[in-house]
Amino acid sequence: MMSIQKFEDLIAWQKAQDIAIDIYAIFVDSRDWSFKDQICRAAVSISNNIAEGFDRQSNKEFIRFLYISLGSASEVKSMLYLAKKLGYLDDTAFQKHYEQSVEIAKVITGLIKSLKLKTDY
């Protein structure tokens, strides 16, 4: 199996970019600036932390950044609940993006587990 050479090849990073684009598109016209800023920053943070951790060239550091990325995915999930309760998202949009964030969290968790097998703690 060929090892991944750049963060852009990671499925977790690709999926994280997708959700960030979706979140930006949903809230582009939102006048709730603080809410929009918070959910967009959290969504972008997922892929940015994957990228930053990957380029640290250390499994331990990469794992640390993946946990930060996982936290940002949880923040997006929490914000999606708020968006639904505030009427910014309907049930269908909520469900789609919630499932998207759950999938990203699963992929990140799988990546963490595989890296832990290769790393001494």
pTM tops 0.85? yes
Task: Quote the CA–CA distance of 71 and 69 in Å, as a whole number.
Answer: 5
Assess if residue 59 is contained within a domain.
yes
Cβ atoms of residues 65 and 45 within 8 Å = no
Assess if residue 86 is contained within a domain.
yes
Assess if residue 94 is contained within a domain.
yes
Scan for tokens 């967009």, then name that residue: 40
Assess if residue 14 is contained within a domain.
yes
Assess if residue 17 is contained within a domain.
yes
pLDDT at residue 119 above 80?
no
Assess if residue 5 is contained within a domain.
no
Task: Quote the CA–CA distance of 48 and 31 in Å, as a whole number.
Answer: 25
Q: How many domains does the chain have?
A: 1
Q: How confident is the model at residue 6 (pLDDT cuts 50, 70, 90)?
A: very high
Question: Residue 18 belongs to what domain range?
Answer: 10-117
Q: How confident is the model at residue 4 (pLDDT cuts 50, 70, 90)?
A: confident
Dihedral sign for Cα atoms in the order 65, 69, 72, 74: negative
Assess if residue 106 is contained within a domain.
yes
Task: Quote the CA–CA distance of 98 and 94 in Å, as a whole number.
Answer: 6
Instruction: Summarize pLDDT for 25-82 with one digit per residue, the tens.
Output: 999 999 999 999 999 999 999 999 999 999 998 999 999 999 999 999 999 999 999 9
Task: Quote the CA–CA distance of 100 and 106 in Å, as a whole number.
Answer: 10
Q: How confident is the model at residue 120 (pLDDT cuts 50, 70, 90)?
A: low
Cβ atoms of residues 93 and 26 within 8 Å = yes
